[in-house]
């Protein structure tokens, strides 16, 4: 069977990155069963041949109108699909969709009629926001990092920038590679409109990674690998903190002066 990825090496490279990240999420234990989602804006890789392709499904409602998504295309993980399967067969466990001119409906174009994630409205809402802001970010990743989720069971860590400053202080790379920190969203019903709206508000406050209390992480970046990297370095810091606590002491962490020195030296945003 032919795939839309055939003879489109740039598009295939992007989907291959999604598959690679899906494997990492599974190997780390962050993607139990069908947990987690990935959505990437692939519009820049769409050619005339793709634009002329007929849809393989009827138009489906997004559930809201997203005016900045007119003419955009996305690869989306399928609903009830597992990351471990997507890692091996990305076009069997996800699909390519295009947004229709009314900005309120989409249709599946390739390769198979795999229904996108149930969180599609939230993911597309974030992409609509990113385009409106002129952001270069094209990827959104939602996953369940064990140690970061564990930290949200403490109200202390849910306070604004408490977790950010602690995680930054554990190892210099975390501040360097996740320089905007970790935004916090209190518990809301998974897949709800309210959770999606709260996520956008938190990103708008200047965060690239958003922590959903007792649930998981939502990250955006230029591509799927960069989004994964931000989550990975944050969770490494959480592991260092938990390891120190497990050895019976409170880790000192880098001082505020040392972290400020990094911000100046590496021209970090915070």
Residue 219: per-residue pLDDT: 98
> One of 32, 58, 107, 119 is an active-site residue; which one?
119
The mean pLDDT of 94-106, rounded to a whole number, is: 98
Place of tokens 């860590």: 157
Listed in sequence order, the residues at least 6 apart from 2 whose beta carbon sits closer than 8 Å to its beta carbon are none
Let me know: does 210 contact 203? Beta carbons within 8 Å.
yes
pLDDT exceeds cutoff 90 at 193: no
- 44 in catalytic set: no
Confidence of residue 224 (pLDDT cuts 50, 70, 90): very high
- Give the C-alpha distances (Å, rounded to integers) separating 58 from 10, 70, 78, 124, 202: 28, 18, 17, 19, 34
The mean pLDDT of 108-131, rounded to a whole number, is: 95
pTM, two decimal places: 0.96
Return the H-helix or E-strand segment holding 138.
Answer: none
Confidence of residue 210 (pLDDT cuts 50, 70, 90): very high
CA distance 200 to 216: 15
pLDDT exceeds cutoff 80 at 1: no
Residue 187: per-residue pLDDT: 97
pLDDT exceeds cutoff 80 at 137: yes
Options 3.40.225.10, 3.40.50.2300, 3.30.2000.10, 3.30.429.10; CATH of 9-265: 3.40.225.10
Place of tokens 């740039």: 10
pLDDT exceeds cutoff 90 at 106: yes
Share of residues in the chain with pLDDT > 70 (%) = 100
Let me know: does 109 contact 51? Beta carbons within 8 Å.
no
Share of residues in the chain with pLDDT > 90 (%) = 98
Query: What are the extents of the domains in the chain?
Result: 9-265
Residue 191: per-residue pLDDT: 87
Let me know: does 83 contact 35? Beta carbons within 8 Å.
yes
Q: pLDDT tens digits for 237-257? A: 999 999 999 999 999 999 999
Which residues on neighbouring strands pair with residue 40, listed in sequence order? Answer: 75, 139
Place of tokens 């947990």: 35
What 3-state DSSP class applies to 73?
strand
Give me 253's structure tokens.
Answer: 């962490």
Confidence of residue 77 (pLDDT cuts 50, 70, 90): very high
* 96 φ/ψ angles, rounded to the nearest 5 degrees: -100, 130
Residue 46: per-residue pLDDT: 98
Listed in sequence order, the residues at least 6 apart from 167 whose beta carbon sits closer than 8 Å to its beta carbon are 174, 178, 181, 182, 234, 237, 238, 241
């Amino acid at each position: 069977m032919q795939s839309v990825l055939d003879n489109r090496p740039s598009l295939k490279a992007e989907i291959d990155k999604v598959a690679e990240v899906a494997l990492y999420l599974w190997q780390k234990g962050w993607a139990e069963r069908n947990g987690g989602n990935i959505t990437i804006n692939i519009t820049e890789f769409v050619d005339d041949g793709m634009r002329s392709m007929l849809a393989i499904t009827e138009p489906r409602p997004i559930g809201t109108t997203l005016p900045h998504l007119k003419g955009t295309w996305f690869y989306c993980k399928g609903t009830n699909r597992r990351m471990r399967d997507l890692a091996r067969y990305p076009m069997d466990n996800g699909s390519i969709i295009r947004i229709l001119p009314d900005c309120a409906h989409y249709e599946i174009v390739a390769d198979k009629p795999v229904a996108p994630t149930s969180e599609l409205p939230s993911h597309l809402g974030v992409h609509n926001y990113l385009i409106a802001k002129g952001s270069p970010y094209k990827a959104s990743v939602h996953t369940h990092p064990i140690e970061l989720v564990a930290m949200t069971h403490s109200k202390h860590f849910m306070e604004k920038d408490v977790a950010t400053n602690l995680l930054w202080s554990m190892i210099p790379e975390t501040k360097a590679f996740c320089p905007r920190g970790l935004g916090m969203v209190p518990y809301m019903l998974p897949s709800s409109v309210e959770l999606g709206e709260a996520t956008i508000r938190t990103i708008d406050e200047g965060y690239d990674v958003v922590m959903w209390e007792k649930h998981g992480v939502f990250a955006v970046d230029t591509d799927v690998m960069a989004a994964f990297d931000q989550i990975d370095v944050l969770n490494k810091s959480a592991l260092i903190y938990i390891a120190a606590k497990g050895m019976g002491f409170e880790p000192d962490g880098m001082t505020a002066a040392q972290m400020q020195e990094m911000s100046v030296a590496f021209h970090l945003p915070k």
